Amino acid sequence: MGVRVDEPELSMMPGDEIHGFVLESIDVLDDYHGYGYFYRHRITGMEVYHVANKDPENFFGFIFKTPPVNDCGTPHIIEHCLLAGSKRYPVRDPFMSLL
C-alpha cells in the first residue's frame, strides 16, 4: 500500500470549483494512506471520487445508474447472457478466468 500523504494534494477547499466540478468533501482514508476527494459536476450532477496517495498504481472506474423499469429480472437475465460467452469468446465464467 502507499505511503501516507502528509497534506491533501490540492489546495482546494469544499465548495471550490474546477472544470465545472464542485469539491463537496475531503476525507482522510487511513486504510489507503491518503485522502479522498468527492466532486459533483455543477450541471450534470456526475459524481467523482478521487483517492490520492503516493501509491504508484492508479485505477479508475465508471458506474452508471440504470434503474430497471420493473422488477421482472430483465437486467439479471441480460447479465447472464452477456457473461455466457460466444463462439468467438468461449469463456463461460470470465470472472473465474481472471483468478
Domain boundaries, the chain: 17-97
- pTM for the model stands at 0.59
Which positions ≥6 away from 32 have C-beta within 8 Å? 1, 2, 51, 53, 55
**Rounded CA gap, 24 and 12, in Å?**
10
Active site residues: 79
Neighbours of 22 (CB within 10 A): 15
pLDDT confidence tier of residue 1, bands split at 50, 70 and 90 = very low
Q: What is the pLDDT of residues 15-63, one digit of tens each?
A: 999 999 999 999 999 999 999 999 999 999 999 999 988 888 887 777 7
Cβ(33)–Cβ(54) under 8 Å? Answer: yes
> Confidence band (pLDDT; 50, 70, 90) for 9?
low
Residue 77: what residue type? I
